[in-house]
Chain A
Amino acid sequence: MSAATVTSRIPHRIRLNLRAVVGRAYPRIVGANREPSWIFFEAILPLLGIAAYVFIYQALANRVLLDPTVSAADKAATVAATNALIGSVVLGGTMIAFWLNVLWSMASQLYWEKEIGNLQLYMMAPMSRMALLGGMAVGGMFMTSVRAITTLVAGVVVFSIVLQVTNPFLLIAVFFATLVALYGMGMTLASLYLLWGREAWHLSALLEEPIFFTSGFYFPAGGLAYVGGWGRVLLTAATAIPATLGLDAMRQLVFPGAWGDKLWIFSPEVELVIILVLGVVFLVLARYALAYLELLARREGRLTSRHQ
């Protein structure tokens, strides 16, 4: 192959794969807007789940605030700490939208594509398999971001949270790095789920609530380190899930100095680096998992055909 052929092939492949990403993202972005009921079910309803934690934190704060023996300084500290706690829960609630999307729409997507009959058409197309997964991820991120922002805005307004953004650029970097790592994890899981078939459905259910807990969706995850014995082990394991460190870094950046900086895992900068590393690891894993899956599909003839 001549050098000229090589250079002319590169833009063609890139163009093809970019088009494939847009094509696959399209049904997620457009399809979601065709069912406007999602605003109620997926943006407003999650607030109810958050509300339960908010009321508990407010009730605990009220015990201090209504106590006449507590000094004004302590009361002010309690108000600030409660604001940070409630804000952490709302932030966690917005990340829940992403985690659920990764679990139910990203990880299990290839399995559903197989059941619908799309997967063999995808596998037959000349696009890169990463473009297929990338399109699913971009569509999912876009759709879920809209939902998450709606939940965040509603949460901030309803619960009167005061956010104090110290470093907006770092905050944006952490947010997007977390999304990339999270969806990279979803891309890896997508291939594994396809291998597992229907049983993967149960794994999604299994991963839902435990991850809410270990990743600290409703409380600062760093608090686990103060739980004797298993707390640190659990926290260490949870850092493999990008949402844990992403949430922790974002909370640090919008509630600086909260709880005397004792409940954070690492500094936001260190957490960003770890999230970036996780993102790269998951994307590479996804690429090889899908390549292996395709080889298996072609060899066994069982993965891309429906009902097999």
Chain B
Amino acid sequence: MDTDFLIDFSDLNAPVVYLAGAWVTGKQLPEVRIIQEAICTCINTVFLVPGDNFEWDSRLLAFILAAERLCQEHQKKLDISAFPESVQQLYDLAKAVPPNISSPEESHNHWTFLKSFWVGAIETLGFIGEMCIAVGRLFAGRSHMRAVDLLFCLNQAGPKALGILSLLSVLVGMILAYLGMIQLSQFGAEVYVANLVALGMVREMGSLMTAVIMAGRTGAAWASELGAMQVNEEVDALKTMGIRPMDFLVMPRLLAMAIAMPLLSAYSFILGMIGGGVMTTGMEMTLRMYLHQLLQSFSPGDVLAGCFKGFIFGLLIVLAGCQSGMNCRGSSAAVGEATTRAVVQAIVYFVIADAALNLMFYKLGI
């Protein structure tokens, strides 16, 4: 070991600690506890003194500060006047401002989780209320929304999502057909695969898959966009200009989603059925059989119900995305959190809303 230390107890009232060798970062250095004994025995002052071949960098000062803290705990003093002037200057600088003794604020509430959940729920209801009022203003013609923003959002929510949506819809259709084929062929009922694909896509998978894609794609993008605007004080700037952020930022997105989602869902139904068709004709059905069975298996009511689901999911995407974006406070980390929350919340909403809508359709006999 290059470093060495030696405690000289010759004067019990004022022990001297010699620090010899290289007291630099990266070397194996003794812990500050080694001078505990010296501190405990002395009457009021411990002397730290450089020894032979002495070298130093920040590591030494860290040691000295730690030793000083230890001394303070035992109400003793530390004398470092034997060190080079530069060491003493740095030491004085570090000691110039007394350290903060209070700790960061923490809530002492035991029900933090429940409380934040409750507050979140109330805020969400408030946001829904504000959105409703903003929609009312829109129809009353007193909204601050710009048509150009609506077009811009519509472009984001619609055409740009078509590629990924096509791919996933075709694949989901194929998966449904494949599963159905394996199971139904055991009963010789392969022909009903078409029913499975059609109803599966139209009533359930089509709108749900579309919603998940749009939540991950557009909802997250909007959450981070609004979050960044909030952090960058742009939302404050809007407010001070007398423009309501709800009208200016949220409404175009809400309308865009409300228009795009039913259409995208319908598009997804068609592609899913095509995917199913490709899979079944590749196995043991003719295209003619598939199409014949397919067209009999669903009614316009089913399509409407599916599109309605898509519409509701669209509103939920905007609710989750815009609310977490607008509530974003502080730093760039908050923007990331807002994005995560937007997607997670949206997916939770979908599952709940899907269950509720299915129950409603069942009771209404749709």
- Whether both chains belong to one complex is answered with no
Name A residues whose Cβ lies closer than 8 Å to a Cβ of B. Answer: none
